[in-house]
Amino acid sequence: MALGPCSEEIQKRRVELVENWSTHLDPLLELLFNVGTVTEEDLSFIRGGGGTGERDCLRTLLDVLEGRGEEACRAFLYVLSNVPPSSVIGGAALFPQNALKEHLQKHKDILAKQNGPASYLSIARRASRPAEVDSFTDISFTRHVGYLVPLQYQHEAAVVGDPFRAGRGEARRQGETCAFRNVYESLICASKNGVTLLSGVAGSGKTTVVRQLVQEWAADADSKKIVLSMSFRELNLITEPQSLQGLTSDHYSNLKPILPDLMTSNQSQILLILDGLDEFCFPLDFDRTPKCSDTERELSVGALVVNLIKGNLLPGSTILLTSRPHAVTKVPHLLVRQFYSVLGFSPAQQRQYFEQNCSSSQAAVAVWNFVSSHRPLQLMCHIPAFCWIVSTALHNGTSCLFYDTALIGATLQESRSGCAEAASGDKCYDQSLSEPNTWVANGLAAQSCSRPITVTEIYCCFLKSIVVFHVGGCVEGMHLNRLQDAPHVLKENRAKLRSLGALAFRGLVERRFLFDLSDLDSFSLESCKLSRAFMVEILKEDKASLTYEKSFHFIHTSVQEFLAALYYVLESFSGSDPFSGLKSKVGLLPPAVHKHLLTFVNKLRQPQHLLRRRVKKALHCGESHQSGHMDLFCRFVSGLLVPKTRFILDGLFSGEPRPRLPSCVPLPSTPFPFVLQLLRSQLHSSSLSPERQLNVCHCLYEAQDPELPLRLQRWLKVLSQQSSGQCDSLNRDWSELAFLLQLSPDLQQLNLDAQGLDAEGLRRLLPVLPLFSTLNVAQNPLGPEGAEVLSAALRSPDCQIERLWVVSTGLGCEGLKILTKGLKDNHTVFDLR
């Protein structure tokens, strides 16, 4: 059938019509309906139930008109010729100003409610000061030009305290220190657009910063920005292609009437927050992803993110990405306008946090006084999430702080008196912060008392506190009774804790931190109340099928690592293979039969030999993963092998007899002898990287090696130049010195003049060498190999070295050339001798 002239014109102008009129679809359809060109059935068909983009809707409209014939096409062209786009925009397409304000205010209210301060298991902040209940503890940041590529061979928890070391002046910092207000103003108030990247370790406060940002924006009546916030965890659930406008409409249905106008006319007002880049499971191919500037075009979620970051979609908008350090390189540095590092809590901010979160000021001082006197604990407390774990574990400073329930009444009084002393004079613990030997002495003395001194013990107290006081509901005034009943409660929950640990262990081995319902089903955790205590549930609504998709993650990655270690030790003590639960196929036998048979065979072997094999395999995991992501797991395994630490979870280790000792008799504070032998042999291994050797020292600390404090005391004499250090025995213990230096933030000068330091010893010190303003390694036989180590330290992004003394180190011509290359890339050294 021959086409009429109007039909032919529509066919020729089809691309132009879709491009120019798709954003004005609703008023155009209204006009066509009023003149009788389309019917109500046509409108329903064209809109496709609301799930079709505007460009596709306009294409459907043109198809309907062509199917109706020449008269319908003539009427359509008449409407276009008599009603230009400008008049459509000035008429029905634009919302009245007051209606627009109503939508935006409603959007602010919704986001403010979604991003309010979280309350986990009813563990809320102290409410004695109502004005501060909803306040956020300030967090420290640094602002960089470009982003810093992190070291890929360290666990991110190993470097959390470095920015707060004494003497790191502004001139020597890699970036400018700033507060939250600076971050807020650069994103909300400044006119500059582009991509801002916010990097921080797990638990450092990135998501809290996002919540605080949204809260302050919602309270700012003068703000011109329109904030849209999504998490990559939610984006992971999108498997089908989707348009940006469709995705945003699904996420913010309240904005659906004004989204087309926002995405076409007000792009510069949009702040899009994408939280958790490190958790994004889809690839980001910035080189081969096709360019797309059409917000109605359906793309894969990975392609959507790439086009947003490159500025193809929503050009002129501001985008905030948050990520853990290891994932920042997913985004090319040329696309990042500004980069912020979340440093976490300074010591003063740690104390402020405890004051805001403990039940009383006395309890806050007690917890702070306790934490500040134990270096490894305070080092971890730079991470805000760990501060929360500590305050929960210590249970207001009394309930879980001591293992022997008979001692609680007496120690409560002791804790209160200690708090009063601390409150009356801050010098008692401020002085301990500046003297490395103070916490070493504390470590020696603490081994004979019942207080938790290791990170593993803190996590054991945290687990016990959650299971005993919160999972079953906490009755006011019944803490002592619940604590006395703790062994029975833990025994009842043993099977579920084991399953939860198995899930955590599988995720750790597979480097997975997000789980779905099938993962929980495979461990019978789908309806487990305990899993809700340690995991966060994410709901994603599928409006097409009226269903929800669920995914889960642990409340903190370190909690996942601890539960994985707990599972590993439980399985090892029971004679089972912890890795058997990870295998999908076990031969011809059903999994349950295979497991029982394997357990029976293992029991026929010597239990001590089996346990040794399991522990050796666990430590080998940390050794073989040079990325460092198994470091905390190894520390927790080492700590859980100590009887005194396991006794915190009395009732969980069923095969272990419960000791009946008087209160004055301390529990065994050392693990099996072979554990210390394995760790010490690893420490002296030349095949381990310096970072893994440093982690072995942390494992020895968690295992409460009785000789470690004594050896650290000898190193203190070396640092104070009271010992020559020429003894051969010290040559194999330089990793222990690195451990001591890492936990001594107030030490600015490292003086190892004439201490018999060779290139291998210097290599073991590499993780801490860049952290000192003065580095004196003169009169040591370093040679060219030592020059390689010094050059690596000088090129470190964290290098703070200002004075470097290398007199009489035997560098030679080759070593000098190597050192010169390092100095060319360094901008901190001004005194070289």
pLDDT digit string, tens, across residues 689-745: 787 788 888 888 899 888 888 888 888 777 776 555 554 444 457 888 888 887 776
pLDDT over 90 at 504, yes or no: yes
pLDDT of 310:
93
Most confident segment among 299-313, 335-349, 581-595: 299-313
Terminal CA-CA length for the chain: 94
Q: How large is the average pLDDT for residues 771-786? A: 89
Q: 743-767 burial, b for 16+ CB within 10 Å, e for fewer?
A: bbbebbebbbebbbbbbebbbbbbb
Q: How large is the average pLDDT for residues 748-772? A: 86
72 half-sphere exposure, CB direction, 13 A CA radius: 18
State the pTM of this model: 0.71
Q: Closest by alpha carbon to 452, among 562, 380, 345, 371?
A: 371
Interatomic CA distance for residues 441 and 439, integer angstroms:
5
Query: Sorting pLDDT into bands at 50, 70 and 90, what band is 139?
Result: confident
Which of 320-334, 655-669, 709-723 shows the lowest mean pLDDT across its residues? 655-669
pLDDT of 82:
63
pLDDT of 417:
43
Retrieve residue 737's tokens: 């010195």
Q: Are 436 and 716 in contact (CB under 8 A)?
A: yes
pLDDT over 80 at 486, yes or no: yes
pLDDT of 172:
42
pLDDT of 537:
80
pLDDT over 60 at 442, yes or no: no
Interatomic CA distance for residues 680 and 684, integer angstroms:
6
Who has greater pLDDT, 150 or 827? Answer: 827
pLDDT over 90 at 318, yes or no: yes
Interatomic CA distance for residues 659 and 483, integer angstroms:
17
Most confident segment among 125-134, 509-518, 688-697, 774-783: 774-783
Most confident segment among 115-119, 319-323, 431-435: 319-323
pLDDT of 291:
92
pLDDT over 80 at 462, yes or no: yes
Number of neighbours of residue 144 by Cβ within 10 angstroms: 19
pLDDT of 333:
85
Which of 238-242, 256-260, 405-409 shows the lowest mean pLDDT across its residues? 405-409
Place of tokens 């280790």: 653
Q: How large is the average pLDDT for residues 358-377? A: 84
pLDDT over 90 at 321, yes or no: yes
Which of 52-56, 383-387, 465-469, 811-815 shows the lowest mean pLDDT across its residues? 52-56
pLDDT over 70 at 396, yes or no: no
What is the DSSP secondary structure assignment for residue 398, as one 8-state letter? H
Q: Are 775 and 796 in contact (CB under 8 A)?
A: no
Average pLDDT in the chain: 76
Number of neighbours of residue 15 by Cβ within 10 angstroms: 8
pLDDT of 43:
82
Q: How large is the average pLDDT for residues 627-632? A: 76
Interatomic CA distance for residues 804 and 249, integer angstroms:
59
pLDDT over 80 at 190, yes or no: no
Q: Are 738 and 697 in contact (CB under 8 A)?
A: yes
- 402 CB-near residues (< 8 Å, 6+ apart): 408, 411, 450, 451
Whole-number percent of the chain with pLDDT over 90: 13
Interatomic CA distance for residues 563 and 636, integer angstroms:
9
Domains defined along the chain, listed by start: 5-93 (1.10.533.10), 106-118+132-344 (3.40.50.300), 350-452 (no CATH), 493-604 (1.10.10), 707-832 (3.80.10.10)
pLDDT of 285:
93
CA distances from 654 to 53, 492, 523, 646 (A): 60, 11, 20, 11
pLDDT of 692:
79
Query: Sorting pLDDT into bands at 50, 70 and 90, what band is 231?
Result: confident
Helical (H) or strand (E) element with 423: helix 408-424
pLDDT of 25:
79
pLDDT of 740:
81
Most confident segment among 149-158, 300-309, 366-375, 710-719: 300-309
Interatomic CA distance for residues 299 and 305, integer angstroms:
10
pLDDT of 790:
92
Query: Sorting pLDDT into bands at 50, 70 and 90, what band is 165?
Result: low
Which 3 state secondary structure label does DSSP give 262? helix
3-state SS string over 64-104?
HHHHHCHHHHHHHHHHHHHCCHHHHHHHHHCCCHHHHHHHH
pLDDT of 593:
57
Q: What is the pLDDT of residues 541-577, one digit of tens each?
A: 554 455 567 778 888 888 999 999 999 999 888 878 8
Place of tokens 């007000």: 266
pLDDT over 80 at 86, yes or no: no
Most confident segment among 42-51, 85-94, 154-163, 313-322: 313-322
What is the DSSP secondary structure assignment for residue 187, as one 8-state letter? I
Place of tokens 């005993």: 468
Whole-number percent of the chain with pLDDT over 70: 73
Query: Sorting pLDDT into bands at 50, 70 and 90, what band is 334?
Result: confident
Q: Can you list the alpha helix ranges (DSSP code H) found in 168-287?
A: 180-184, 206-219, 232-235, 244-251, 259-265
pLDDT over 60 at 300, yes or no: yes
pLDDT of 618:
78
Interatomic CA distance for residues 556 and 561, integer angstroms:
9
What are the φ and ψ backbone dihedral angles of 302, each rounded to 5 degrees? -65, -40
Most confident segment among 149-158, 340-349, 745-754: 340-349
Burial of 322 (0-12, 13-18, 19+ CB in 10 A): buried
pLDDT of 510:
84
Most confident segment among 39-53, 104-118, 144-158, 183-197: 183-197
pLDDT over 90 at 204, yes or no: no
CA distances from 8 to 31, 79, 202, 477 (A): 22, 17, 61, 84
Q: Closest by alpha carbon to 509, among 565, 587, 556, 552?
A: 565
pLDDT over 60 at 339, yes or no: yes
Retrieve residue 804's tokens: 């470097």
What is the DSSP secondary structure assignment for residue 255, as one 8-state letter? G
Which 3 state secondary structure label does DSSP give 515? strand
CA distances from 831 to 190, 193, 774, 801, 828 (A): 40, 41, 9, 9, 9
pLDDT over 70 at 432, yes or no: no
pLDDT of 271:
93
Helical (H) or strand (E) element with 353: helix 347-357
- 33 CB-near residues (< 8 Å, 6+ apart): 39, 40, 43
Interatomic CA distance for residues 786 and 762, integer angstroms:
7
pLDDT of 169:
44
Burial of 827 (0-12, 13-18, 19+ CB in 10 A): exposed
Who has greater pLDDT, 281 or 271? Answer: 271
pLDDT over 70 at 460, yes or no: yes
